Amino acid sequence: FYLAMILYLYGDLAIYDVAVPKSLRDTTCTYTPEDANDTLKDTDPCWIGVTSINRMNAYRIYVCLFNLLVGPLVFYNLQKTKFLQLLTTIMRWLAFVTMISVACNKIADNVANSTPVQPAYFSLPGLPNFFGVCIYAFMCHHSLPSIITPIKHKEKFKFILVAAYSSIMLFYLLNSYTGVFAFGKN
């Protein structure tokens, strides 16, 4: 049991240790190649005018900052995690609302430019992104025990479970459809 928990937590931490710095790098790096068809490479500069820090070095800096920020939490006694759970819940809602808002903004721009996006039915190069979405979906579903455990009156259990899964499904559908129509060609 302990070995399984250690492997699970190590894998969970590895996912965050890769995803968070990569997202920060992709969000903050402003350099774009001169040819719009070129893809960004790790050796490209991260910021316009700053050639000493390329995209890979920016990623490494963000990994170090993330580890310095999250690493000390290992030494805390997390018996009472109410504030940590509230912060996590707020961050998840913020992530969903941000993704949907950005996609809606992109859809509005496409409509204004009269260039509607036709999403592809299947894209083999998009398979790695699919795994990232699956991991995000897993992270939302694996928090279900934290919804069920504090329920004192279990007779309302079915209603709460249906409400939780329905809201998750609605957000996934909204997130998926706005994302597909906003970024279907990417």
Per-residue pLDDT of the chain (186 residues; tens, 9 = 90+): 888 888 888 887 888 888 889 988 988 888 877 766 667 787 888 888 887 888 899 999 999 999 998 888 777 776 666 777 778 778 888 888 888 898 888 888 876 555 555 666 777 877 777 776 777 667 666 666 666 666 777 777 778 778 878 887 888 888 888 888 887 665
Region at 16 (left for phi over 0; alpha for psi -120 to 50; beta for the rest) = alpha
**CA-based radius of gyration for the chain:** 20
pTM score: 0.57
Strand partners, 50: 47
Q: DSSP strand E in 49-122: where?
A: 50-54
Q: Burial, 15: exposed, middle or buried (Cβ in 10 Å; 0-12, 13-18, 19+)? A: middle
> CA quadruple 126, 29, 117, 105: dihedral positive or negative?
positive
Secondary structure of residue 89 in the 3-state scheme: helix
**Could you give the CA distance from residue 53 to residue 5 in angstroms, rounded to a whole number?**
38
